[in-house]
Amino acid sequence: MSSKNIKAPYECMELKEYKLSDFVPEFSEFRQFDDLSRFGCENIEDNLIRLEKRGKIHFQNRVAICPSCKSHHAVKNGVYERKLIFLRIGEQICTVQKYKCKKCGKVFYSDLSSIVYPNSNITLPVIDCIENLYQIYGAGLHKIRFDLKQQHNIEISHQSIENILLNSNYEFNYETRSYSGYYLFDSLWVKINGEWNYILALFDVKLNTLVSIKLVDSEDSKTIYQFLNESLRNQEKKSIGTDLKHEYREAIDKLKVKHHFCKFHVKQAINKRFKDYFDKNQLKEEEFEELIDLKKHIFKILDAENLNDAKNLRKRLFERKFPQNTFTIKIVDKFIIPYFQKLTNHLENKNIPSTNNKIENIFQKIFPKHIKRTMKIEQGLLSRFMLKLNYWNIKNEKEKNHTSF
Ligand SMILES: [Zn+2]
C-alpha cells in the first residue's frame, strides 16, 4: 500500500460514504460547533463547515453541489489555499476543499459566499465591523484602522478600508434622506478604557428612525452644537426635544431651533426639588400644604390639554399667593415662567412629542440600564452596540415598509 492510499479519504473518498473525521481525529464534529464567534463566523451558512487542524482553518461544504449541473454527486479533489482576514484572529491562510463532479466532471470549490465576497480576502464580519466603526468615528480612517488593530487584531490598509466604505451599501446616510424636521436628542454614557465617552443620538420623530449617532469624549454644549449642526445640515429644523441638561439648551438655542423639554424629565426634576426641600426644612403644616398645591398646579400646566388652558393656568400661578421664598422663586420665576414655551411646544404643534420616550426606548432596548451603568466596559462593547443599533434600524425600516402598504 502506498502512502497515497493512506491519505485516501482526504483525497478521493465520497463525502456521503466517509467523513474526514472518521480518519482524522482533529477534524471531528466536536470542533465544528465550538465558538464560531472566535473566528467572526457567526453568520456562516449551514452548508459551509469550518474545521480546524493544528490551528489552521479548513472550509468544506456539508453537501457539495456542482454549480454546473446541480448534481449532488461529487468527490473531494484536493484543496487550495486562500488568505482570509477574520475578526480577532486576523489574517489566516486557510484551505478550501475542491470537488470534482461525478456527473459532468467539472472541478469546483466549496462555496464561501456566506463569509466572503468572491474577489476579496476580507471576511464579511470584518466589513460589518468597519462599517460600524465608520458610523462612530465618521470619516476618520486612521481611527478606524487603529481600532481594528487594537480591538480586533486586524491590520489592513487605509486604501482597503476606503474601498470597503465606498462599496458599502449601508444606508446610514446623512445626506440622501429628507427628515421631517421634528427630532429628539439624547446621549448615552459609556466608559471605554476607563474614560467616559458619550454616544450622541438624534432621532426623527415622524420617520421613527435614528438620524445620526456619534461617539464623542465630551458632552459640552459646543460638541453638541457641532453634532446637531452637522447632522441637520440642509435638513428641515422644526423642533428638538431633550431632557433638561443646560448644555443641550445652549446648543439648541445657538442652532436657533425650537427646543422642547421632555415632560417626564421635567416632572421628575420638579418632584426631586420638592422632595429635597421637604427633607431639608421643617415646615409648618400650612406651608407644606401650600407647596403641595403649588406642585399640583405646575403639573396641571405640564398636563394641559391645549395651549389656552396652559396659559390660563400660568396666569393663575401669578395671581395665587403661593409662598414666596428662594425655593419657589427658583422653580416658578426661574424655570416655569421663562421656559414656559419649551414646556408647552407640544400643545401648539401636535408633531412635537411631549416626552423623549421614543429615543429612550431605543437606548433601553439595545442597551439595558444595568449594562449601561457598569463601570468597566469591555472592549468591543461599542461595536456590539452599533450592531444592535443597526439591527434595530433595519428591523424598524422593515416594519415601517410593511405598514405603509
Ligand atoms: Zn456537474
CATH number, domain of 375, equals 3.30.420.10
Distance 100 CA to ligand 1 centre (A): 8
Give the range with max mean pLDDT: 135-144, 194-203, 389-398: 194-203
Looking at the structure, tell me whether residues 152 and 107 fall in a common domain: no
Domain termination residue (choose one: 106, 121, 136): 121
Alpha-carbon gap, residue 62 to 186, rounded angstroms? 48
Looking at the structure, tell me whether residues 217 and 101 fall in a common domain: no
Looking at the structure, tell me whether residues 117 and 14 fall in a common domain: yes
Distance 114 CA to ligand 1 centre (A): 22
Looking at the structure, tell me whether residues 109 and 233 fall in a common domain: no
Distance 72 CA to ligand 1 centre (A): 8
| 175 part of a folded domain | no
Distance 74 CA to ligand 1 centre (A): 8
Distance 23 CA to ligand 1 centre (A): 27
Distance 79 CA to ligand 1 centre (A): 18
Which residues are within 5 Å of ligand 1 (an ion), measured at CB?
66, 68-69, 71, 101, 103-104
Looking at the structure, tell me whether residues 327 and 392 fall in a common domain: no
Longest dimension (CA), the chain: 108
Distance 66 CA to ligand 1 centre (A): 5
Looking at the structure, tell me whether residues 101 and 153 fall in a common domain: no
Looking at the structure, tell me whether residues 19 and 111 fall in a common domain: yes
Cell triple for 331: 422653580
Q: Are 51 and 57 in contact (CB under 8 A)?
A: yes
Looking at the structure, tell me whether residues 286 and 334 fall in a common domain: yes
| 174 part of a folded domain | no
Distance 115 CA to ligand 1 centre (A): 24
Q: Which domain holds residue 216?
A: 182-262+355-404
Distance 84 CA to ligand 1 centre (A): 27
Alpha-carbon gap, residue 258 to 269, rounded angstroms? 21
Cell triple for 8: 485516501
pLDDT higher than 60, residue 71: yes
Nearest to 85 by CA among 34, 26, 149, 144: 149
Q: Are 94 and 56 in contact (CB under 8 A)?
A: yes
Does the pTM exceed 0.75?
Answer: no
Distance 266 CA to ligand 1 centre (A): 70
| 211 part of a folded domain | yes
Number of domains in the chain: 4
Averaged pLDDT score across all residues of the chain: 77
Q: Which residues face 74 on adjacent strands?
A: 101
Question: Residue 207 has what pLDDT?
Answer: 80
Question: Residue 186 has what pLDDT?
Answer: 92
| 176 part of a folded domain | no
Question: Residue 103 has what pLDDT?
Answer: 93
Looking at the structure, tell me whether residues 282 and 193 fall in a common domain: no
Distance 353 CA to ligand 1 centre (A): 61
Distance 14 CA to ligand 1 centre (A): 15
Confidence label for 2 from pLDDT (cuts 50, 70 and 90): very low
| 291 part of a folded domain | yes
Looking at the structure, tell me whether residues 7 and 113 fall in a common domain: yes
Distance 11 CA to ligand 1 centre (A): 18
Distance 99 CA to ligand 1 centre (A): 10
| 392 part of a folded domain | yes
Looking at the structure, tell me whether residues 30 and 111 fall in a common domain: yes
Beta-sheet pairing, 182-192 with 48-53: unpaired
pLDDT higher than 70, residue 394: no
pLDDT in tens, 238-283: 999 999 999 999 999 999 999 999 999 999 999 999 999 999 999 8
How many angstroms from the chain centroid is the CA of residue 362? 9
Looking at the structure, tell me whether residues 388 and 304 fall in a common domain: no
